Structures are given as C-alpha cells and as structure tokens.
C-alpha cells in the first residue's frame, strides 16, 4: 500500500517564498508509485490549508487565492492522523526550528529531518556555538548581543566587540536564515546600523569575526550511520552570500566538488558527520563551513536542518554528484523518518 505523505509548504518565516519553491520541486519529483501526497500550505499568518490545486500555484503563491482547491482542514489531516509521515519543506522559524517537529512528535507522526532538540539548537546560531565549543569544533570568534543589554549599555557592548573581534564583523540575528537580517560591518557606523537592523528579527544577535573565506557545504544524510556527499563550494556574486546572491543573482556559482585536495575533502566530510552526530541530527542536514583563504583553517559556519531543497539547490545537487538522484533522495528521507520514529 502507498504511504501517505503530508508535504508542508510556505510557513510563517521570512523564508516563506523559498519554501514554496522547494516544496514545488518535491511535489513534482516525489515517487508517486510509492507515495500519496497531501500538500498542506501554511500562510504567513499561520493558517493551514490542504491545497489540491496546481503545483505552479504553489510555486508562485497564487494558491492562497484559489478558494476552490483550498480546504481549511490542513491541521486536521495531521491531528486525525490521515497521513503516515510528514515532510516539512519549511525553512526557518516555525518549521525548521523544532516547533513543527514538536507537533508531529505529540501526534506520534514521523517527521522528515532532525527532531525537536536538534532542530532548535541548529536553528539558533548562538546555541550552536555553545554546544559545539565543548567538542573542539573550530568556529569564528564571536560576541553575543542581547536586545535588553543593548538598550541599556550600547557603548560598552560596541567597545567590547571592537576590542575582542576588531573589524570586519558579521552581524546575524541568532535565529536567521537565507541571510535575512545579516550584514557585514567594516566600521563602527555599520556595526551600529547592522545591530539595529538585526534586532528587528531577533532579541539575540551574534556578532562574528569575518573570515576571508571560501564557503564549502556538505550534505549529510541518514540516522545512526550518516553519510556525507561530495562537498560543494559556493562562489557568491556579492561581497558575501546575501539574500540577493542566493536567490536572484545568476552570477553566484556552485562548484561540485569543491576545489580542494582529496585529503581536504575527506577531512571536511568527516568533520560534517562528526558535527551531525554531536547535534543529534537525523534524516538530513547541510553542514556549512568557511575555509580561511590564508591559513586554510576550516571553521564551521552553520547547520541547516531543512536546507534549500529545489532540484537545483546545493543539498540535492551534492547527492546527485554522488550518484543519488532527486526522487530517490526524497524517498530515502521519508523512509529515514519512519525508521527513526520507531525508536
């Protein structure tokens, strides 16, 4: 019998649009001989609908206006356990951060990707640092800025950042994705602007020393015996890999394999698997590194537990280059979710 899979798309985060594109790609390529799909759209204000209209409408956002194919029973499908497994093709907060994972856990439904704790820690850049620094994983030096402290002692915090990190620095909302709210500061004025902008997205901000780096990403897949695909490299079109460079600038390049020695590729794959296990990831994650162009030192940048998932996104492309096609990858992720749920 075919398994019933809920495909969640949209969501309440700043990455709503990106999610729709990822989910459309999943819907077009999922193996329909094995799975019956239940596409469920989540609006930016958090309403859930089953959507049985066209995939194009999901991709371009018109599904929300399509009253005929939009049914207000999105959550009931989960609550009534009408499906066997949930694939949250959602990026960012309220999707990749442990919340949807928690809902599935309460309902006893297998969910693709890491569980509650792992998703939450990986979503939060500050907590990722706190955990990994206990395991000798190299990460960029940093200072944490909290909204309340910033409002009370701005000068002191700015001085601390300048003293400990010096310029340039990256300013990131702790819970961010797709580079939203992230900026690079080359001086005090940009640092202040960057902090104030980042504080619109989160009350906890990570300020990091900028590394003159190459960006290398590793796709990891599996539960107890995770495997890593051939690492890939990003060559951003802008000064750093910002939102525009990620989604609109065709000049950004993806290189698979990353232009590194066999030895270095192997090292980075092992490092990615080690991090995946420490953070108790399951199903999938993309582990992103920064490699210092001068010292060649490898730094962890971040872990994405539901990475961009269109057919031409880095995660599926790295598996493609390693011999695993897109549809096969989707099937494996669903089966890993079911396997993990049994324990």
Ligand X SMILES: Nc1ncnc2c1ncn2[C@@H]1O[C@H](COP(=O)(O)OP(=O)(O)O)[C@@H](O)[C@H]1O
Q: Which of 213, 221, 260, 300 binds ligand X (CB under 6 A)?
A: 213
Residue 140 engages ligand X in binding (rule: CB under 6 A): yes
- The total number of residues shown for the chain amounts to 343
Nearest residue (CB) to ligand X, 110 versus 177 = 177
Residue 15 engages ligand X in binding (rule: CB under 6 A): no
223 is in an annotated binding site: no
Known catalytic residue at 15? yes
The catalytic residue among 119, 174, 285, 313 is 313
Residue 96 engages ligand X in binding (rule: CB under 6 A): no
240 is in an annotated binding site: no
340 is in an annotated binding site: no
Nearest residue (CB) to ligand X, 75 versus 238 = 238
Nearest residue (CB) to ligand X, 240 versus 267 = 240
The catalytic residue among 19, 178, 183, 285 is 178
Shortest gap between Cβ of 273 and ligand X (angstroms)? 20
Residues 152-211 that bind ligand X (CB under 6 A): 170, 172, 176-179, 182, 208, 210-211
Nearest residue (CB) to ligand X, 53 versus 236 = 236
335 is in an annotated binding site: no
212 is in an annotated binding site: yes
Residue 143 engages ligand X in binding (rule: CB under 6 A): no
Shortest gap between Cβ of 192 and ligand X (angstroms)? 19
Residue 240 engages ligand X in binding (rule: CB under 6 A): yes
70 is in an annotated binding site: no
Residue 114 has which token pair? Answer: 């890491």
Residue 217 engages ligand X in binding (rule: CB under 6 A): no
Residue 46 has which token pair? Answer: 């958090």
Strands in 169-173's sheet, in edge-to-edge order, are 142-146, 204-209, 169-173, 183-185
* CB 89, CB 80: distance < 8 Å: no
Shortest gap between Cβ of 173 and ligand X (angstroms)? 9
- Cα–Cα distance for residue pair 110/107, rounded to 1 Å: 9
Interface map 302-331 toward ligand X (x if CB under 6 A) = x-----------------------------
Known catalytic residue at 162? no
Q: b or e along 130-156 (b: 16 or more beta carbons within 10 Å of the residue's beta carbon)? A: ebbeeeebebbebbebbeeebeeeeee
Q: b or e along 38-54 (b: 16 or more beta carbons within 10 Å of the residue's beta carbon)? A: bbbbbeeeeebbbbebe
Known catalytic residue at 178? yes
- Cα–Cα distance for residue pair 169/164, rounded to 1 Å: 11
Query: Which residues have CB under 8 Å from 134's CB, separation 6+?
Result: none
Q: Which of 15, 50, 97, 215 binds ligand X (CB under 6 A)?
A: 215
Shortest gap between Cβ of 135 and ligand X (angstroms)? 19
Residue 290 engages ligand X in binding (rule: CB under 6 A): yes
- Cα–Cα distance for residue pair 308/247, rounded to 1 Å: 11
Residue 88 engages ligand X in binding (rule: CB under 6 A): no
What are the binding residues for Mg(2+)? Answer: 288, 302, 304
Question: Residues within the annotated binding site?
Answer: 125, 170-172, 178-179, 208-215, 288, 301-302, 304
Annotated binding site for ATP: 125, 170-172, 178-179, 208-215, 301-302
- The catalytic residues are 15, 178, 313
Q: Which residues of this protein are in contact with ligand X, per CB under 6 A?
A: 140, 170, 172, 176-179, 182, 208, 210-211, 213, 215, 236, 240-241, 288, 290, 301-302
């Amino acid at each position: 019998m075919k398994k019933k899979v809920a495909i969640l798309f949209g969501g309440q985060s700043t990455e709503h649009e990106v999610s729709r594109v990822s989910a459309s790609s999943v819907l077009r390529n999922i193996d329909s001989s094995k799975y019956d799909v239940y596409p469920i759209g989540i609006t930016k204000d958090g309403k859930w609908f089953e959507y049985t209209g066209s995939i194009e409408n999901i991709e371009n956002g018109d599904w929300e206006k399509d009253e005929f194919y939009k049914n207000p029973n999105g959550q009931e499908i989960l609550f009534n356990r009408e499906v066997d497994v949930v694939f949250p093709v959602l990026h960012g907060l309220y999707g990749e951060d442990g919340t949807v994972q928690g809902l599935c856990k309460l309902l006893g439904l297998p969910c693709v990707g890491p569980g509650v704790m792992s998703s939450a820690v990986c979503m939060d850049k500050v907590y990722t640092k706190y955990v990994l620094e206990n395991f000798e994983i190299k990460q960029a030096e940093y200072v944490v800025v909290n909204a309340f402290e910033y409002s009370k002692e701005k000068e002191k915090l700015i001085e601390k950042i300048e003293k400990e990190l010096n310029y340039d620095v990256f300013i990131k909302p702790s819970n961010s994705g797709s580079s939203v709210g992230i900026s690079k500061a080359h001086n005090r004025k940009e640092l202040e602007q960057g902090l104030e902008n980042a504080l619109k997205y989160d009350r906890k901000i990570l300020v990091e020393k900028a590394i003159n780096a190459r960006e290398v990403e590793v796709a990891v897949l599996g539960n107890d015996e995770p495997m890593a695909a051939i690492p890939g490299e990003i060559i951003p079109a802008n000064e750093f890999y910002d939102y525009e460079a990620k989604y609109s600038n065709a000049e950004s390049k993806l290189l698979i394999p990353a232009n590194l020695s066999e030895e270095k590729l192997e090292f980075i794959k092992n490092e990615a698997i080690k991090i995946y296990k420490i953070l108790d990831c399951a199903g999938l994650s993309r582990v992103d590194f920064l490699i210092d162009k001068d010292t060649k030192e490898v730094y962890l940048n971040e872990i994405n537990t539901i990475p961009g998932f269109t057919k031409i996104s880095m995660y599926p492309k790295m598996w493609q280059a390693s011999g695993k096609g897109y549809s096969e990858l989707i099937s494996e992720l669903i089966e890993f979710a079911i396997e993990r749920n049994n324990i």
